[in-house]
C-alpha cells in the first residue's frame, strides 16, 4: 500500500508570548483530525507542538499536495484561530496564516509542510523532527551528516545498500530553483551550497541505487512570502530509517552536536540547536534557545504506533549541557555579530532607519 505522510504546521497563537502552544489548541486540533479520520480521509494522526508551533502529523492515501489534506490543515488552523486564539487573545493569533483564502495547497500560504509518499516496507520506522525559533536551513548540517558523512553514519561504509550513497535536492530559496547533487562524488559541491544558510536548503534526499525517498523537509520562507518579517519558519523534517537506510541511532547521532542555527530572539540571532523531549519543547531563555524534538513511529498500514519521544534520554543530556554553555557564551556578545545575524540577514532590521537618521552627520573621513 502506498501511504502518504503529511506534517503541516503553523504558529496560530502563542501562550505566553512566543513560548509555547496552549493545550486548548492541541485538543481542538485533535477533535478536527479525529472527525477527518472518521470520514475516512485520514488513516491516522498525531497532534503536538514545539514552542509556539502547532504540528499536525497525518497519514492517508491521497498523495502529496492533496487539496483535501491541505484544506483540512488550513481549515483546522483557521477555525482554531477564530474559536480559540482570537477570543483568548493568544499572542500573534493566526500569525502564519498569510493568505486571505485557501487556494488548494498550503505551500506558499504560510504554514510549513513536509510530505512523502511511499510503499510501506515490511517494517517502516519513521522519524519526525520539528524545531522552533530557527529556519529550514537548520536541517542542512544534520541531513548532510546522516546521509553523506561516514563519521556519523557507519552504514555508508558498512551496509551495501547504502554504499552507493544518496541524492540531495537543494533549493535556492532566492531564485526558487532546485538542483540535485549526488554523494559521495559531488560532496564538495553540495557543501559549497548548503554551508550558506541564508540561501540554500536541502528539501529531499533519496537513496541513489533505487531512488527510494529517504527524507523530506519543509522549506517555507515566510519572509519571502510576506515581504517582511513575520516570524521564523520553524522547520519540520521526515526521515525514514533502517534496513538499507541510516539506522534510527545514526539519524539521531547527527543531533548530538548542537550546531549554530539562525533564528532565536527576533529571528535575528545565531544560537545552538538543542534537542529536547516533548515536555521541554517550550522556548524560554531569550525566546529560545532554538530547539528540536525527535519523535519515532512504527508505521503499520498507515497507522502511527508512537510517539517514541527520542530525545527524552540522558544520552542527550551532555548535548543539552553543551548547548546551554554555547548559548551562554554567544549571548554575551549581545548586539554584536556573530551572535546577531549580519545586517543583510536581519529580518527586524533597524539599520536603514539608523543610517537615515545619521546621514547628514557622516562627514568625509580624513
Ligand atoms: C522569534 C520570535 C520571537 C519574537 C520576539 C518579539 O522567531 O518569534 O523571538 O520575535 O518575541 O516579538 P514581538 O515583536 O511580537 O514582540
Ligand atoms: Mg509566535
Ligand atoms: Mg515558532
pLDDT digit string, tens, across residues 271-327 = 999 999 999 999 999 999 999 999 999 999 999 999 999 999 999 999 999 999 999
- Residue 114 DSSP SS3: strand
CA 48–ligand 3 middle distance (angstroms): 13
- Which band of pLDDT confidence, cut at 50, 70 and 90, is reported for residue 102? confident
CA 229–ligand 3 middle distance (angstroms): 13
d(CA 238, CA 78): 25
Using alpha carbons, select from 22, 165, 173, 168 the residue that is nearest to residue 89: 22
CA 350–ligand 2 middle distance (angstroms): 20
- Specify the residue with its C-alpha closest to ligand 1, atom 5: 266
Number of H helices, E strands in the chain: 9, 15
Which atom, in ligand 1's list, is nearest to the CA of 286? 9
Whether the CA torsion 10, 12, 15, 18 is positive or negative: it is positive
Whether the predicted pLDDT of 358 surpasses 70: yes
What is the pLDDT at residue 326? 98
| Cβ atoms 64, 6 nearer than 8 A | yes
Max alpha carbon distance in the chain (Å)?
A: 76
The overall pTM is greater than 0.85: yes
d(CA 335, CA 119): 49
- Specify the residue with its C-alpha closest to ligand 1, atom 12: 266
All three cell numbers of 103, joined, read 487556494
Q: What is the mean pLDDT of residues 71-99?
A: 95
- Asked whether 13 lines ligand 1 (CB < 6 A), one says no
- Asked whether 265 lines ligand 1 (CB < 6 A), one says yes
Give the closest ligand to the alpha carbon of residue 234: 3
- Specify the residue with its C-alpha closest to ligand 1, atom 10: 266
d(CA 20, CA 365): 49
- Residue 17 DSSP SS3: coil
Q: What is the mean pLDDT of the chain?
A: 94
Which atom, in ligand 1's list, is nearest to the CA of 264? 1
For 57, residues 6+ apart whose C-beta sits below 8 A from its C-beta are 5, 6, 7, 45, 46, 47, 48, 128, 304
Q: What is the mean pLDDT of residues 143-163?
A: 97
- Residue 262 DSSP SS3: strand
For the chain, the C-alpha Rg in angstroms (whole number) is 20
Q: What is the pLDDT of residues 187-205, one digit of tens each?
A: 999 999 999 988 899 999 9
- Which band of pLDDT confidence, cut at 50, 70 and 90, is reported for residue 243? very high
- Asked whether 204 lines ligand 1 (CB < 6 A), one says no
For 221, residues 6+ apart whose C-beta sits below 8 A from its C-beta are 135, 136, 173, 233
Q: What is the pLDDT of residues 332-357, one digit of tens each?
A: 999 999 999 987 776 556 677 788 89
- Asked whether 269 lines ligand 1 (CB < 6 A), one says no
All three cell numbers of 27, joined, read 485538543
- The residue behind cell 537615515 is 356
- Which band of pLDDT confidence, cut at 50, 70 and 90, is reported for residue 1? confident
> Which letter, b or e, does each residue of 316-348 get, where b requires 16 or more Cβ atoms within 10 Å of its Cβ?
beebbebbeebbeebbeeeeeeebbbeeebbbe
Supply the residues annotated as catalytic.
11, 229, 232
H helix runs in 137-247, sequence order = 140-148, 155-158, 187-194, 222-226
CA 2–ligand 1 middle distance (angstroms): 40
Which atom, in ligand 1's list, is nearest to the CA of 266? 10
Amino acid at each position: 500500500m502506498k501511504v502518504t505522510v503529511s506534517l503541516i504546521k503553523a504558529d496560530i497563537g502563542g501562550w505566553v508570548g512566543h513560548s509555547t502552544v496552549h493545550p486548548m489548541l492541541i485538543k481542538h486540533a485533535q477533535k478536527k483530525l479525529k472527525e477527518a479520520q472518521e470520514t475516512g480521509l485520514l488513516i491516522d494522526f498525531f497532534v503536538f507542538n514545539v514552542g509556539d508551533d502547532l504540528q499536525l502529523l497525518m497519514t492517508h492515501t491521497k498523495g502529496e499536495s492533496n487539496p483535501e489534506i491541505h484544506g483540512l490543515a488550513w481549515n483546522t488552523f483557521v477555525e482554531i484561530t477564530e474559536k480559540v486564539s482570537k477570543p483568548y487573545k493568544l499572542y500573534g493569533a493566526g500569525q502564519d496564516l498569510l493568505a486571505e483564502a485557501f487556494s488548494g495547497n498550503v505551500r506558499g500560504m504560510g504554514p510549513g509542510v513536509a510530505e512523502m509518499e511511499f510503499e510501506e516496507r515490511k517494517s517502516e520506522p519513521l522519524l519526525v523532527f520539528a524545531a522552533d525559533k530557527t529556519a529550514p536551513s537548520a536541517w542542512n548540517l544534520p541531513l548532510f551528516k546522516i546521509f553523506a558523512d561516514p563519521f556519523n553514519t557507519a552504514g555508508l561504509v558498512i551496509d551495501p545498500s547504502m554504499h552507493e550513497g544518496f541524492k540531495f535536492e537543494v533549493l535556492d530559496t532566492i531564485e526558487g530553483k532546485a538542483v540535485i547533487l549526488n554523494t559521495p562524488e559531488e560532496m564538495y559541491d553540495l557543501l559549497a551550497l548548503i554551508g550558506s544558510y541564508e540561501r540554500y536548503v536541502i528539501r529531499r534526499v533519496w537513496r541513489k541505487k533505487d531512488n527510494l525517498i529517504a527524507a523530506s523537509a519543509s522549506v517555507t520562507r515566510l519572509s519571502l512570502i510576506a515581504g517582511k518579517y513575520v516570524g521564523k519558519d520553524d522547520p519540520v523534517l521526515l526521515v525514514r530509517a533502517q534496513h538499507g537506510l541510516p539506522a534510527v541511532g545514526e539519524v539521531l547521532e547527527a543531533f548530538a552536536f548542537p550546531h549554530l542555527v539562525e533564528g532565536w530572539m527576533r529571528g535575528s540571532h545565531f544560537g545552538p540547536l538543542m534537542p529536547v523531549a516533548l515536555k521541554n519543547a517550550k522556548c524560554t531563555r531569550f525566546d529560545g534557545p532554538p530547539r528540536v524534538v525527535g519523535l519515532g513511529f512504527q508505521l503499520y498500514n498507515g497507522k502511527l504506533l508512537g510517539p517514541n519521544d527520542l530525545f527524552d534520554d540522558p544520552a542527550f543530556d551532555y548535548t543539552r549541557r553543551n548547548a546551554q554553555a554555547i548559548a551562554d557564551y554567544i549571548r554575551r556578545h549581545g548586539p554584536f555579530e556573530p551572535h546577531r545575524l549580519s545586517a543583510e540577514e536581519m529580518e527586524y532590521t533597524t539599520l536603514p532607519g539608523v543610517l537615515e537618521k545619521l546621514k547628514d552627520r557622516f562627514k568625509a573621513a580624513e
